[in-house]
Structure 1
Amino acid sequence: MENQQEYSIGAFSTRVHLSVDTLRYYEKEGLLKPRRNQQNQRIYTENDYEWTLFILRLKQIGMPIRDIQTYAKLRYQGDETINERLQLLYKQEQLLEKQRHEIDEHLAFLAKKITIYHEKIVDME
């Protein structure tokens, strides 16, 4: 097994650009499960780093915290939960597709109004 870089909570906080309080909150909510050393201090690894980036991306795409918590719980249970995790991702994909459709409709509305105003400007000249 290769030797992974390990980080204290302070160093990890800097690495992921999250406060120590946020990392503790994520742990309390079951999103992160850093291991503990003999002094009971949190130890984070590159795997925790990649997982934290994934959590942040899920937040960016609007996944509700309860779904992220469910996803995290399933992830920590292992590969036998891949199908359930996929279902959560499909659900979020559908929500994003709906939002994209709504945004496209809003853009079409604006484009139509802009065209009307441009035509009025040409008529006034």
Structure 2
Amino acid sequence: MPPQAWLAERRIPLPEFGDRLSHHDGPAGAETRLALVERLYPALDDILSRPVANQIVVSHGSASSYLIAAWIGMPMTSTDRGFFPLTAGGITTLFRNDTHFSHQVVSLNETQHLQGLEEPPLV
């Protein structure tokens, strides 16, 4: 059985209402969305503290979505509803505008470089 099918069989659907961030949606021992978000927001701070002009960050789809949320300043508690569906191998470009002190999402999930390959799934 492919790994995604194994996971899909064990997934517990996310409730529409309630404490969605503390929901356990996968196999026993898997971290909650809140635990993931609480790791990723400080990780982005660490990434941004490095004295370089450009960086490449490679991540899984869910983690990438939460990193984008952190980038635009979305409160952690709002990540239970906001999500950016991303294709495996897709490229998102983020930019800090030093004139306006804004964090911009310049492009989201660019996939032109994947043309001609088997269509990767949204993650």
| Alignment TM-score > 0.5, same fold | no
TM-score by length of 1: 0.31
Determine which structure has the larger helix proportion and give its number: 1
TM-score by length of 2: 0.31
Determine which structure has the larger strand proportion and give its number: 2
* Structure having the higher Rg: 1
